[in-house]
Amino acid sequence: MPTTIALIAHDRKKDDIVAFVRAHTPILSRYKLIATGTTGQRIQEGTGLPVERMLSGPMGGDAQIAAQVATGNVIAVIFLLDSLYAQPHEPDIQALLRICEVHNIPLATNLATAEAIVAMLRQTRIGYLIFNPVSGQGNAQQDLALIQQLLEPQIRLNVHLTTPELSAEQLAQDAIAQGAELILASGGDGTISAVAGAVIGTGIPLGIIARGTANAFAVALGIPTNIRGACETILAGTTCIVDAARCNGFPMILLAGIGFEAEMVERANREAKSRFGALAYIVAGIQQLNEHELFATQIEIEGIVKEFQAGAVTVANAAPPTSVLAQGLGQVIATDGLLDVTIAMPSTKLQAVNAMLNLFGSALIQTAPNRPDIIHLRTKQLKVTTDPPQKIVVDGEIIGTTPAEIECIPNGLTVFASPIIEQTV
Ligand SMILES: O=C(CO)COP(=O)(O)O
């Protein structure tokens, strides 16, 4: 959908349009502004807002704007006419007015109707949709078309596709810098975490349209993992405030896995994920189980250090039941201001398999497993040191090796989701 507004004023109305734009800067600054040459210059000088300037009206500026309207790029035209004086380029003016009629584009020709357009804009939300076209196994073009079809009657979408050069995180930062009031992320957990990471602490509501392999974040927060359901959740408008976290400076929404999980994620590479979907993780997990060894682990919380021989250390902010290694407490609470830490210390492969099954079972019944080889705790922050150093995976991406310093950011994210009902364990 277009997000451009065209601004034009005849000479004796130029002061009016500058005053009008100045009075409505907060709302108009959310849109791309285009204007005829002199009008654009006056608005830029008078308000500091960026304006893309066409030719001056008599030289064809009205005609250029008419072309933009005709090609569907313009959401509204504000054209303060001077009806008391004849203009040399009257045919161009009439052509622009006619094109607005033909294309049913809101057109204000005086200050009263310009105010009406601003009132309309106030009721329209603009959503920055950050869309990863290579996530998951669906047809990205069809997915995007469906999202637009479902959301656009109520939310004007500013669509930005991720590319190898333009990361989801960069796009999210740009959206925030442009004053986004609503950011939507569509892709796998990597895309969603990257966008969420940039949004932490801004208070900007985040919509999640999961199209990935595991979609752990959506599942953890009870957000539907089909496009239609996800869009309905966004349109319903209910938001939840959940915790976020940082691991060695990297934003973390779901969990940090140290040891087993990091190795497993590395095995379940992009190619395997495209071929086997979520099964890739299980295949990789079984392969990994054959090779994995325990490592010496130090956990430091508020100056107190404890030592373990661990196979996996998982520090979770939010996690679905299928994030087996995070389930030391039977469920991960995303709204308690604390991280859920699970340390698995199996000494044989059989114990490891048993421990994983046990953890999965406890997540399903939301009770902590009672096993001597699983330790669990909740804390706001901790430091994990291992010998030898272990890889760390944060929200599905390897970010480096231990030591890992992880801190919860209570209430760091506002997401569109139904209220989360947590049971206290
Ligand atoms: O003449 C105009 C519109 O018809 C306005 O043009 P300028 O903004 O260049 O003065």
Cα–Cα distance measured from residue 192 to residue 152, given in angstroms and rounded to the nearest whole number: 21
The CA-atom distances, in angstroms, between 138 and each of 133, 149, 189, 374 are: 9, 17, 15, 38
- Residue 37 annotated as lining a ligand binding site: yes
Burial of 88 (0-12, 13-18, 19+ CB in 10 A): exposed
CATH of 252-407, one of 2.60.40.1220, 2.60.200.40, 2.70.98.10, 3.60.150.10: 2.60.200.40
> Atom 6 of ligand 1 has which residue's CA nearest to it?
57
Measure 101 CA to ligand 1 centroid, in angstroms: 20
The two structure tokens encoding residue 412 = 């760091």
Q: Ligand 1 mean position to 48 CA, how many Å?
A: 19
CATH superfamily, domain at 4-122: Methylglyoxal synthase-like domain (3.40.50.1380)
Cα–Cα distance, 372 to 239 (Å, whole number): 39
The pLDDT averaged over each successive group of 10 residues in the chain (425 residues) is: 88 98 92 96 97 98 98 95 94 98 97 96 88 87 95 88 95 91 92 93 96 88 94 93 94 88 62 53 54 84 90 87 66 84 74 61 61 81 95 89 96 88 43
Residues with catalytic function: 62
**CB distance 93 to ligand 1 below 6 Å:** yes
Residue nearest to atom 3 of ligand 1 (CA): 57
Domain range summary for the chain, segments of one domain joined by +? 4-122, 125-237, 252-407
> What's the CA gap between 216 and 82, in Å, rounded?
59
Structure confidence at residue 227 (pLDDT) = 96
Omega prior to 320 cis, within 30 of 0 = no
Which is nearest to 250 in space by CA: 410, 398, 412, 390? 398
Q: What pLDDT, on the 0 to 100 scale, is given for residue 423?
A: 41
What is the model's pLDDT at position 420?
59
Please tell me the CATH code under which domain 125-237 is placed: 3.40.50.10330
37 lines ligand 1 (CB under 6 A): yes
Identical fold for domains 4-122 and 252-407, yes or no, is no
